[in-house]
Amino acid sequence: MLMNGKKGIIFGVSNSHGIAYGIAKELFEQGADIAFTYAGEVMEKRVRPLAEEMNSKLIMSCDVTKEDEVKAVFAEYEKIYGKLDFLVHAVAFANREDLQGEFINTSKEGWDTALGISAYSLVSLCREARPMMNENASVLALTYLGSEKYVANYNIMGVAKATLEASMRYLAVDLAKVGARINCISAGPVKTLAAKGIGGFDKMLKAATLKAPMHRNVSLEDIGKTGVYLASDLSTGVTGEVIHVDCGCHAVYASIEEMEKLSAE
């Protein structure tokens, strides 16, 4: 198995329908030993059973906006696991009102919240993890096409994801000093609980299906397998990269299917 003997930590699993869980599941099935964090007591009820199914030795609360909690998690991780082979950052949040209406009306508080949780947290986690990283350790963060192009109702989260991707490229240089690498997966739209906060998401799913060369939406398994590739030694020469896992949707401006549908209307 590709991840035999590999150990690491994942931030952001919230339920069994999310992208973070899809990645964790594939890593576990490939032999990885995974530590889990959750955001507060409410999330513990959802995350702990999933982590226990994967025989996790560390299941711990962590608010990524609080440096003391981040430090505490990695201190405990080091006690239990020693070194680190992979880190998965699947943390993102924006206030609902900042995902609606015009982007121009984004509040300063909403900006700080979205970029702090969704982007700066990657810097914070990497800083604490770097001293315990093994050679060829891998960091993986989740992004979306809204970082590159305008996506209706994505608003501040698109800017946060763009910041995440830029941060990833700068972190690639810093982490390379200890022989580690970092990349992003830009996943296509997946029907998750988090996605329900985006207005018109069902239409977004249909549009992606029409546009994608593969004529389908991406699955959790598709994304999870790419996560294994990036976390494993199969990708030791890859860093600073954004890999799109969206059935090719990002590469197409307008498909024949879309044009035919518009013509029929």
Q: Where are the domains of the chain?
A: 7-200+217-251
Whether 81 is catalytic is no
Q: What is the block-wise mean pLDDT of the chain (265 residues), using blocks of 10 residues?
A: 97 94 98 96 94 98 97 98 98 93 96 98 98 98 95 94 98 98 93 55 71 86 97 98 93 67 61
H helices within the chain, ranges in order?
19-29, 41-53, 67-81, 108-115, 121-129, 155-176, 201-211, 220-231, 256-264
pLDDT per position as a tens digit, 188-227: 887 655 555 555 556 766 777 877 888 888 999 999 999 9
CA 107, CA 110: separation in Å to the nearest integer?
Answer: 5
Q: Which of 38, 77, 81, 154 does the annotation list as catalytic? A: 154
Q: What's the longest Cα–Cα distance across the chain?
A: 63
Question: Is position 154 annotated as part of the catalytic site?
Answer: yes
Q: Which member of 144, 150, 170, 253 is catalytic? A: 144
What integer pLDDT is reported at residue 190 of this predicted model? Answer: 76
pLDDT of residue 130: 98
Position of tokens 């490229």?
169
* Region at 22 (left for phi over 0; alpha for psi -120 to 50; beta for the rest): alpha
* pTM, two decimal places: 0.92
- Which among 8, 1, 2 is positioned nearest to 33, based on CA atoms? 8
For the record, the structure tokens of 127 come out as 């800083």
Which CATH topology does 7-200+217-251 take?
A: Rossmann fold (3.40.50)
pLDDT of residue 254: 64
Please state, as a whole number, how many other Cβ atoms lie within 10 Å of the Cβ of residue 105. 11
